[in-house]
Amino acid sequence: MKRISILFVCMGNICRSPLAEGIFSRVVARAGLDDAVHVDSAGLGGWHQGELPDRRSIATASAHGIDIAGQRARRILAGDFEDFDLILAMDHSNVAELRRRSPHADNIHLFGDFALGTGEDIPDPYYGGPEDFEFVYARLLNGCNTLVERLGTISGSWSGKTSSVR
């Protein structure tokens, strides 16, 4: 199986996408696919470049046995559109901005479509409380589990940038 690269994207890369990266990395490891999947996260803006994830994201992940404290926020780069097989944005506005930046990229998808099949946005918990971070964690966990199952189903036909994953 070719190594699949997946990038999770949100606004600032401190709440949703770091949680998604941490959750997905754990689900991938539990499925024994560490060597087959590369995962990362990024933000549309560089406001938090180099910073740790939001302390509430760290706490939420930690409460579920996931350590994301080693992650650092980064801004999405032009090369990411070519370097990643799959770019999963957390909400419709993120998708629109990604498509504006790279109109011909066919690897950009809404997490709620691709991983959950619902078309829903993963809401930004930044201005919320612990329950909002828990809600986001639960939705991301559900989607990440489904995504790993989906990747396992298509692994035999995976051929890189032209794969049916897109």
Render pLDDT for 76-126 as a digit per residue (tens, 0 to 9). 999 999 999 999 999 999 999 999 999 999 999 999 999 999 999 999 999
Catalytic residue (one of 80, 85, 91, 124): 124
Catalytic residue (one of 10, 15, 139, 144): 10
CA distance 6 to 40: 7
Catalytic residue (one of 15, 16, 40, 80): 16
Residue 125 has what pLDDT? 98
The pTM is what? Answer: 0.92
Tell which residue, 83, 111, 100, has the closest CA to residue 9: 111
Tell which residue, 44, 6, 41, 3, has the closest CA to residue 147: 6
Render pLDDT for 14-44 as a digit per residue (tens, 0 to 9). 999 999 999 999 999 999 999 999 999 999 9
Render pLDDT for 41-82 as a digit per residue (tens, 0 to 9). 999 999 999 999 999 999 999 999 999 999 999 999 999 999
- Whether 124 is a known active-site residue: answer yes
Above pLDDT 90, what percent of the chain? 87
**For 4-156, CATH number?**
3.40.50.2300
CA distance 162 to 119: 23
The ranges assigned to domains in the chain are 4-156
Q: If you average pLDDT over residues 145-160, what whole number do you get?
A: 69
Between 166 and 44, whose confidence is greater? 44
- Whether 16 is a known active-site residue: answer yes
- Whether 144 is a known active-site residue: answer no
